[in-house]
Amino acid sequence: MMTRTMRRIAGACLLGAAVGGAGLLAGCSQPGQTASVREDARPAFGGDFTLTNQDNQRFRLQDVRGRPVLMFFGYTSCPDMCPMTMSRITGALSRAGSSASDVVTLFVSVDPKRDTPAVLKEYVRSFSTPLVALTGTEEEVARVASLYHASYEIVPTGTANYLVNHTSAIFLIDRQGRLRQYFKFDEKPETLASALKAVLDEKA
Amino acid sequence: MVRRVSVPLLLLLVGAAGATACGEHGEERGRQLYALHGCAACHGPDGRGDGPSARRLDVPPSDLTDVRTYKRGSSPNDIALSIQKGSGAMPAFRDITDAEAGDIAAWIVSRQRDSRSPGGQP
């Protein structure tokens, strides 16, 4: 019997397959499929964006220029991928050494209808690992997802709630604001930490 | 304002993960790890199943202070296993080490004790 997590992963894969022509990430890449952290082999997508943070302030990616960024897409009532991803990022930061204090972790909500700044603020308080949670209009969020080849889709559950299938990749953005690498959702924290250290070692 | 990670805290916790959970020290490390890994998002800051994500989940998270809501069992080993392997609707947190899971379990068990103490919830 498939667990809820397995169904979600399968759903993410199917979603990716359905829109695969656009090159969207589905969070179900094969082992070893991640792009290289080498500067000359970075993915040819990504870019600056502006959204609204949990304090209802506008947040521009360029505001944190000079600091490495780990970013993922999700939603606050995600029952599986997002909690696991935050736990994984926490593990990577703890392994990346003292300079990991420079890393900014961004959570971009793909459920802007429900994830208001107030909801995000309460969610962020649940983590002692510093986290910037972002939301925006549906158009703004769709634009950011498109920039990073991310996908998402609302899945009704037959109740008052709904799920959102979404790209579960973790994006590593360097000090210059360039996407350097992305990781599948179940990448080991050691691998994430290793890539993070390489980017942290680069000059601002 | 973008906060910076408290690396000394993270390193302390990772170092602590190498130690065996014991008594109040294990509980305190467990409390910190519970917060660090965001368990509170679903289970709430005090483990009562009232985290911000809980209200929109079709399967409500367990109230960790009430052993009657546990799916896998309420002993420290059962709880550590639930954390690392998943339980019911809760996913498996495979990156949490045995020592970390043991410490978090120790803190959760202390919440069970608290709930059974006079004045606590039954």
Q: What would the pLDDT profile of A10-62 be if each residue is shown by its tens digit?
A: 444 434 433 333 345 544 333 333 445 666 677 889 999 999 999 999 999 99
The total number of structural domains in chain B stands at: 1
Amino acid A29: pLDDT: 33
A9-18, A135-144, B12-21, B46-55 — most confident range: A135-144
pLDDT 10s digits, A149-173: 999 999 999 998 999 999 999 999 9
| Minimal Cβ distance to A93: which of B5, B38, B52 | B5
Under the phi-then-psi rule, with left for phi > 0, alpha for psi from -120 to 50, and beta for the rest, what region is A97?
left
CB pair distance less than 8 Å for A126 and B41: yes
Q: Of A44, A49, A74, A73, nearest to A63 (Cα)?
A: A49
Q: What is the domain extent for residue A61?
A: 4-200
Q: Under a CB-based contact definition with an 8 Å cutoff, are residues A196 and A189 in contact?
A: no
Task: Kindly report the CATH number assigned to the domain that includes residue A48.
Answer: 3.40.30.10
Report the CATH number that the domain containing residue B72 is assigned in CATH: 1.10.760.10
Q: Contact at 8 Å (CB) between A35 and A148?
A: no
pLDDT digits (tens, 9 = 90+) for B45-72: 999 999 999 989 999 999 999 988 888 8
Digit-coded pLDDT (tens) for A83-113: 999 999 999 999 998 899 999 999 999 999 9
Indicate the DSSP class of residue B44. -
Q: Which residues from chain B sit within 8 angstroms of residue A87, using beta carbons?
A: 37-38, 93, 95-96
Of the candidates A107, A119, A125, which has an alpha carbon nearest to the alpha carbon of residue A166? A107
CA distances in angstroms from A108 to A43, B85, B115, listed in the order given: 19, 27, 36
Contacts of A186 in chain B (CB under 8 A): 94
Report the C-alpha gap between A193 and B12 in whole angstroms.
17
Residue of B nearest to A92 (CA): B95
Q: Is residue B94 part of a domain?
A: yes
* Minimal CA separation from A130 to chain B, in Å: 6
* B56 within domain boundaries: yes
Q: Which residue of A has its CA nearest to B87?
A: A3
Interface test with A, best of B1, B95, B104 (most A CBs within 10 A): B95
Question: In the 8-state DSSP scheme, what is residue B87?
Answer: B
User: Measured between CA atoms, how close is A21 to chain B, in angstroms?
Assistant: 31
User: Residue B54, SS3?
Assistant: helix
Q: On the CB side of A199, how many CA atoms lie within 13 Å of its CA? A: 33
The angle, 0 to 180 degrees and rounded to 10, between the axes of the packed helices A81-95 and B7-17 is 100
Chain A, 75 to 114: residues with Cβ < 8 Å from chain B are 76-81, 83-84, 86-88, 90-91, 93-95, 97-104, 114
Total of domains in chain A:
1
Give the range of the structural domain holding residue B32, as residue numbers without chain letter. 7-116
Answer whether A34's CB lies under 8 Å from A183's CB: yes
d(CA A115, CA A119): 6
Cross-chain Cβ contact B36/A129 below 8 Å:
yes
Nearest alpha carbon to residue B53 among B45, B64, B43, B63: B43
What's the predicted TM-score (pTM) here? 0.81
Closest Cβ–Cβ partner in B41, B42, B91 for A5: B91
